[in-house]
Amino acid sequence: MEEFEKNSPWGISLDEIPPEGLQVKFEDLKEIGDLKIIEPLSGHLFLKKRGIEVWVKGSIKGSIELTCDLCLENFLFSIDRAFEVLLQPKRSLNYEGEKELSLEELEVSFYENSFIDYLGIIYEELLLTLPFRNICREGCKGLCPVCGTNLNKETCRCVKVKKSSPFAVLKELRTISEKSIGKEV
């Protein structure tokens, strides 16, 4: 288990990776980029040199907090990612290299100055695991566009005109008139 220190770069230089590969475990990782970590991250990285490239196979577990795009409430997002990535020296990025990449069909990233940055790898993989849209739950009703009520928690009295369906509007109106009739009685 390699110790993780915040102040020194956490990683290894290329020539320190033994030919048989290197296994790195991490746990209790509580800070990375601007992500809000709830359950500290743990996992492993296995590094193996392939010429000037480094093949990395790893896993990350934990959970972070995201904010729902629809209702603006925070919610827990669980992470359980297994990945494989091929690291190439940054300077080798050229047309020939790109051609090779598409044949490999492997996720590719880059390292700089002959240094493999573990946190950089983990952070990149975390970003890849994030959803395209942050939605707190299936069928989140979001906020009422008129009064801002969180419609997952309560209903409001605003009339929402759905232009796509005239029947929906009719239904809304009918519900309202039924309600007001009910009140008068």
Of 15 and 154, the one with the shorter C-beta distance to Zn ion is: 154
Interface with Zn ion includes 45 (CB under 5 A)? no
Interface with Zn ion includes 66 (CB under 5 A)? no
Taking CB under 5 A as the criterion, the residue among 54, 79, 140, 143 binding Zn ion is 140
Of 41 and 140, the one with the shorter C-beta distance to Zn ion is: 140
Region near Zn ion per CB under 5 A, out of 64-72, 98-106, 110-118, 168-176: 64-72
Interface with Zn ion includes 76 (CB under 5 A)? no
d(Cα 114, Cα 90) in Å, to the nearest integer? Answer: 9
**In the window 150-179, what residues touch Zn ion (CB under 5 A)?**
156, 158
User: Shortest distance, CB of residue 181 to Zn ion, whole angstroms?
Assistant: 21
Interface with Zn ion includes 136 (CB under 5 A)? yes
User: Given the rule CB under 5 A, which residues bind Zn ion?
Assistant: 68, 70-71, 136, 140, 144, 146-147, 149, 156, 158
